[in-house]
Amino acid sequence: MFNLKGFLQLSKEAKIPELKGWVKEANETILKKGADLKVSKPSKITVAEIKKDRLYLTIEGEYPRPHDALQRFRKFFAEKAGKEHKIGVRGQIAEEYSAVFELEQKALKTVSVPFAEVKIDGKKCSLKFKDLTEDFLQKNYIDRIMNLVKEKIKYQFYEGKDEFSQTTWTGKERPTKYRSDPSEDLENKLWIKRTASKGQWVIGREFTVFLNSLKTLMKENVFKKLGFQEMIFPKFEYWDYPKGSGHANTIYPNAYFVMVPKNSSTEFWEPVSDHYKITKEIDKKGILERVESVGIMSYAQCPPFWALLQQSTVDESSLPLKVFDWSGPTYRNEAGGTHGLDRLEEFRRIEMIWVAKKEDEIKIWKDIVESLKNFYDKVLDLEIRTDRVTPWWMAHAGIRTDKGTDEMGTIDFNAYLPYRGDRKQEWLEIQNASSNGIKYTDGFGVKLPKGELWSGCAGAGLDRIAVALLAQKGVNPKDWPSALTDLVLPDLQNINPLKLL
């Protein structure tokens, strides 16, 4: 049940003797339009009185929602009052609004949402709002807030539950020859060096050769065989992209935010400059006052790809579209902390995206999984395992137990890390591959002239592949698979190693 108390702002003080009749007429006609009276209680204007230049109204019912009813009545009233009394309507405000509705489950604890006061009593929930503007009422925030409350209560039942994970394939066990943490060994050799920033490394020449060789092998053995071609995706994501991909729902604790100056004049920034000149400290507070948030640094890598297709209809002759990007790093604020080269805040990732008709998309997904298995197991000779896990969009939404389906879901590739210990536990996710259904095409408004357009994406942490390989085989190039050693050694031999005194 919904209840609205508010007013229409009139263009001038008014006396309208016909008001009672108009309200009766509206209640019986326009407010009932479209309502299924068996399912919901029709909304009705129960009080209408004019005080000076305001028409105060009370509206109660379920359908149309009182804020829609207010909107309908406003139009109806403005036509009549305009014609008969030369009075216009300037605006509308809901001073008080309440929504009382049934929940599917009893909440485990109370929830809070912006804009409303929430009260929960068993399965009954009541929301109270104050002073809602026209914009708020028209954009249907009320229904979104009701859905958000229901969603939050639903998620309470998933909290603390382990994420769904089922092993689908386990590769051959390899003998363990090396038990050190390769990041430490590499740092001692000065192949990499930690920077002052959390989870960031500067990559020296030797390790750059190593990473590039892994990329070459991947290109030869996976991309060329499957017909994937290289693109360059933007690495700054304007807010439109997290909105389209759905990441805008949850990304905040893990994001690297991008801010730009509100104003670029030297005078505007002079106090911040001066502060530094005097104190030799950055005036972070002064900066925050002068910037605005425009988006985030690349987080999931694939969203900005969609700038290429968004709001378009794709000609079937262009499909399947199969691309990859490794043109720049991904940034994440890893709230749980960073470690070595395997949990970084600036990391290199190889992202594949494919867009195709439904049946083709699913087939490509399965082919990719097989091809990647072959690459890690046979070409890189790694001890890996594949798991079916909660699809990323469900995991990000807080539903950790969802299994996905045979057509839509996520497969993780995990590699054993001997330095961490036991084979039962110590596996690191190096790659995943997801069939995303219409999640992205729908989010970015991409269509086919006929039928569903599906897409998928697969991300591999290049640093993580490197860690897995070195953790299993050690840091001596002679102990690596020959295809890799052959690529790395010639370049490595040309490098005069750095020595710091």
CA separation for the pair 322, 310 (Å, rounded): 16
Q: Report if residue 69 touches ligand ATP, rule: CB under 6 A.
A: no
By DSSP bridging, strand 117-121 and strand 89-102 are: unpaired
Residue 352 near Zn ion by CB under 5 A: no
Scanning 375-411, the segments in alpha helix (DSSP H) are 392-397
What the block records as the tokens of 59 is 């509206």
Nearest partner of 457 among 354, 310, 359, 349, judged by Cα: 354
Shortest distance, position 177 Cβ to ligand ATP, whole Å: 24
Distances (CA, A) of 235 to 246, 348, 354, 463: 17, 12, 19, 18
Pick the catalytic residue: 334, 360, 426, 452?
Answer: 334
Would you count residue 150 as binding ligand ATP (CB under 6 A)?
no
Q: How far is the CB of 221 from Zn ion (least distance, A)?
A: 21
Which tokens hold the place of 392? 């990323």
Q: Residues 384-403: x/- map of binding to ligand ATP (CB under 6 A)?
A: --------x-----------
Active-site residue, 412 included: yes
Residue with Cβ nearer Zn ion (357 or 396): 396
> Per the residue annotation, which of 351, 361, 383, 463 is the catalytic one?
351
Least Å from the CB of residue 338 to ligand ATP: 7
Asked if 121 and 102 touch (Cβ cutoff 8 Å), the reply is no
Interface residues for ligand ATP in 403-442 (CB under 6 A)? 429-432
Min dist. Cβ of residue 457 to Zn ion (A) = 3
Cβ closest to ligand ATP, residue 92 vs residue 431: 431
# chain residues binding Zn ion, by CB under 5 A: 2
Binding-site size, ligand ATP (CB under 6 A): 16
Backbone angles phi, psi at 206, to 5 degrees: -65, -45
Residue nearest ligand ATP, CB atom distance:
461
Q: If you write DSSP's letter for every residue of 229-248 in order, what string do you get?
A: EE----SEEETHHHHHHSGG
Distance in angstroms (rounded) separating the CA atoms of residues 61 and 43 = 4
Q: Which of 275, 281, 330, 278 is nearest to 302 (CA)?
A: 330
CB of 334 to ligand ATP, least distance (A): 5
- Phi, psi angles (nearest 5°) of residue 385: -150, 145
Q: Quick check: 460 binds Zn ion (CB under 5 A)?
A: no
CB of 324 to ligand ATP, least distance (A): 14
Q: What are phi and psi of 474, to 5 degrees?
A: 90, 175
Q: Around Cβ 441, how many Cβ atoms within 10 Å? A: 22
Concerning whether 60 is annotated as a catalytic residue, the answer is no
According to CB under 6 A, which one of 5, 349, 385, 473 is a site residue for ligand ATP?
349
Partner from Zn ion, ligand ATP, none contacting 466, C-beta within 5 to 8 A by type: none
DSSP string across 406-427: SSSEEEEEEEE-GGG--TTT-E
Kindly state the smallest distance separating residue 23's Cβ from ligand ATP, in Å. 56
Residues 419-458 that bind Zn ion (CB under 5 A): 457
- Binder among 66, 242, 246, 461 for ligand ATP (CB under 6 A): 461
Task: State residue 291 phi and psi, 5-degree precision.
Answer: -120, 165
Tell which residue, 424, 413, 428, 434, has the closest CA to residue 472: 428
Residue 432 annotated as catalytic = yes
For residue 464, the partner it binds in Zn ion, ligand ATP, none, with Cβ less than 5 to 8 A by kind, is ligand ATP
118: amino acid identity, one letter: V
Question: In 194-234, where does DSSP find H-type helix?
Answer: 205-218, 224-226
Of the pair 81, 372, the CB lying nearest ligand ATP is at 372
Give me the least distance between CB of 333 and ligand ATP, in Å please.
Answer: 10
Q: Which residue, 10 or 408, has its beta carbon nearer to ligand ATP?
A: 408
Helix, coil or strand: residue 470: helix
Selected range binding ligand ATP among 97-105, 210-218, 288-296, 453-461, rule: CB under 6 A: 453-461
Q: Across 88-180, where does the E strand assignment appear?
A: 89-102, 117-121, 124-132, 165-170
- 54 closest CA partner among 22, 97, 19, 106: 19
Chain CA centroid to CA 146, Å: 21
Q: Is 240 in the site for ligand ATP (CB under 6 A)?
A: no
Q: Does 302 bind Zn ion (CB under 5 A)?
A: yes
Sites of contact with Zn ion (CB under 5 A): 302, 457
Sites of contact with ligand ATP (CB under 6 A): 332, 334, 343-344, 347, 349, 392, 429-432, 459-461, 463-464
> Residues with catalytic annotation?
302, 332, 334, 343, 351, 412, 429, 432, 457, 464
